[in-house]
Amino acid sequence: MISFILNDKKYITGLPPGAVTLDLLRAEAGLSGTREGCKEGDCGACTVLLGTLLPHGIKYMAVNSCILPVGELHGRHLVTIEGVNPEEGLSSLQQVFVDEGASQCGFCTPGIIISLTGYLLGRVDPDVTGAADSLAGNICRCTGYVSINKSAKTISGLIGHSPAERCTSREHLEWLVEKEILPPYFLGIEETLKTMGTGEPDTSEKSVSRNTVTVAGGTDLFAVRAEDLRNSELRFLSRKKGMKEITVLENRILIGAGATVRDIIDSGVFSDSGNLARSLHLVASAQVRNRATVGGNIVNASPIGDLTIIFLALDAKLRISNGSDYREVQLKDFFRGYKVLDLSPGELLESLEYIAPDSDTFINFEKVAMRQHLDIASVNTAAAFRVNGGRIEKADISAGGVAPVPLYLGRTSALLSGMSISTDTAQLAVRTARSEVSPIDDVRGSAEYKKLLLGKLIAAHFVELFPRQIDAGLLL
């Protein structure tokens, strides 16, 4: 049995761990305010809050319930739109939406309200830009976004900054209750969770068999295989000790395979890595970033996985465990073919490691997709150049969408070693990269288009990183 807190009450379900939370809410719990739209984690209509007890309070995240397995609820706090409604009238956030005319048919509105509530729960210093960005994963079909964005900006300015130091603290919750963003029952959730215990049922490694499906964030797995997984034997990694840790050791950075995109953003490890910190905010939506993990992105082996492309350029190596021992493999050697990995049955990707870039290393990430947020790339690429005296000492360039696997451009990277930074060098890199890839025609573009696009993005690396040495007119 899986037990958790649903809004303000303890809840126990006999549904299998692989059932999705959206179905539990609507069909079993009778909470129809959480809407079913795409059922792929794309539209945001089903957004809920998931609260996890930490040593210093509860961390709440907005997540898509349509791709959230019920097994992840054990020992946690699940909040739906019904759970943020006050006993009488409207919350201050809901009232702003009424005042600004930000809801028309109302189908998408519950998810939007929850997304904004999650943003305010996760920030002690909310601002208008962050509030609007938090809604990137919520699609509205009828009002347009002007009034919605205006409401988001209004509420962030209206409530000001929290007096708390941490967003997980009780003081922060008290502030949100005072501002009538949250109902008062939130103040008693931490003590209730402590009495329940937070370990998930049947998590021992002894229970793992060859048929066990390992679930990290599940943002892709449950988007495409939800029905198959409903009654499968699952192993959840979200609470596996050490899997989410991000550690800086001298000049090395270690990232647990269970760390999410949000964890990486919050850690600040990309703050001195070119445009990577900014680029991560464009990976998927807030709801997906809160669940999608480093290890899941790598093991999924999508040819256009954004995190994988980034870590290929950082020349990362992987730590793989079989339970009693471990081995290391370079990320660029991990992919043996389409969805074929250097990973044996019983092995688990535990973490990755890379050398922290110094002031002589220049890093850039480029991506072209049909829309800015929540879309996979037509082509993406990352580059890291270590430069000394105007020459490239070491180059690491990766590309996605142009091969059956996330591709490390080995020939292009090797060719650039020792070359001066110039327009001619950039042109050579463009030609070599195009000759090194083998894209196919698909819905995201023809093979020829993708080759041309990759060349433009390789050129963009040089233009963005070395604007004084490169004649952009000759490249772009």
- Residue 239 pLDDT > 90: no
In 3-state terms, what secondary structure has residue 8? coil
Judge contact between 358 and 250, C-beta under 8 A. no
- Residue 203 pLDDT > 50: no
Q: How confident is the model at residue 238, as a pLDDT?
A: 85
Residues 6+ apart with CB under 8 A from 311: 294, 298, 331, 352, 354
DSSP letter at 177 equals: H
Q: Where are the alpha helices (DSSP H) in 250-361?
A: 261-267, 276-280, 286-289, 294-300, 306-313
Reported as a single tens digit per residue, the pLDDT across 407-454 is: 999 999 999 999 999 999 999 999 999 999 999 999 889 999 999 999
- Picking from 264, 284, 337, 394, the residue whose alpha carbon sits closest to that of residue 63 is 284
1-198 and 241-476: same fold? no
Distances (CA, A) of 476 to 184, 427, 435: 57, 10, 18
101-135 burial code (b ≥16 CB/10 A, e <16)? ebbeeebbbbbbbbbbbbbbbbbbebeeebbbbbb
Residues 6+ apart with CB under 8 A from 138: 43, 44, 45, 47, 108, 111, 112, 115, 285
**Which CATH entry fits the domain spanning 241-476: 3.30.110.30, 3.30.465.10, 3.40.50.2300, 3.40.50.1580?**
3.30.465.10
Q: How far apart are CA 61 and CA 288, in angstroms?
A: 10
DSSP letter at 183 equals: -
Judge contact between 133 and 286, C-beta under 8 A. yes
- Residue percentage of the chain with pLDDT more than 70: 97
Which has the higher per-residue pLDDT, 373 or 44? 44
Q: How confident is the model at residue 208, as a pLDDT?
A: 65
Q: How confident is the model at residue 204, as a pLDDT?
A: 41
For the domain made up of 1-198, the CATH class stated in words is: alpha beta
- Residue 14 pLDDT > 90: yes
- Number of C-alpha atoms within 13 angstroms, CB side, residue 389? 4
- Residue 402 pLDDT > 70: yes
Q: How confident is the model at residue 199, as a pLDDT?
A: 57
280-286 mean pLDDT: 89
Q: How confident is the model at residue 475, as a pLDDT?
A: 77
Q: How far apart are CA 251 and CA 259, in angstroms?
A: 20
Phi, psi of 473 (to 5 degrees): -60, -30
Straight-line distance from the first to the last Cα atom of the chain, in angstroms, rounded to the nearest whole number? 59
410-427 burial code (b ≥16 CB/10 A, e <16)? eebbebbeeeebebebbb
Which residues on adjacent β-strands are paired with residue 214? 235
Q: How far apart are CA 335 and CA 299, in angstroms?
A: 9
Average pLDDT of the chain? 93
- Residue 188 pLDDT > 60: yes
Domain positions in the chain: 1-198, 241-476
Structure tokens, 321: 């465990």
- Residue 455 pLDDT > 90: yes
Judge contact between 85 and 110, C-beta under 8 A. no
Judge contact between 284 and 261, C-beta under 8 A. yes
Beta strands in 22-109 (DSSP E): 47-54, 57-64, 77-79
Reported as a single tens digit per residue, the pLDDT across 108-147 is: 999 999 999 999 999 999 999 899 889 989 999 888 889 9
Q: How confident is the model at residue 346, as a pLDDT?
A: 87
Reported as a single tens digit per residue, the pLDDT across 39-86 is: 999 999 999 999 999 999 999 999 999 999 999 999 999 999 999 999
- Residue 281 pLDDT > 80: yes
Q: How far apart are CA 179 and CA 52, in angstroms?
A: 23
Which residues on adjacent β-strands are paired with residue 445? 442
Q: How confident is the model at residue 124, as a pLDDT?
A: 95
User: Beta strand 77-79 with 57-64: parallel, antiparallel or unpaired?
Assistant: unpaired
- Residue 302 pLDDT > 50: yes
User: Beta strand 391-400 with 407-408: parallel, antiparallel or unpaired?
Assistant: antiparallel
Q: What is this structure's pTM?
A: 0.93
Which has the higher per-residue pLDDT, 207 or 390? 390
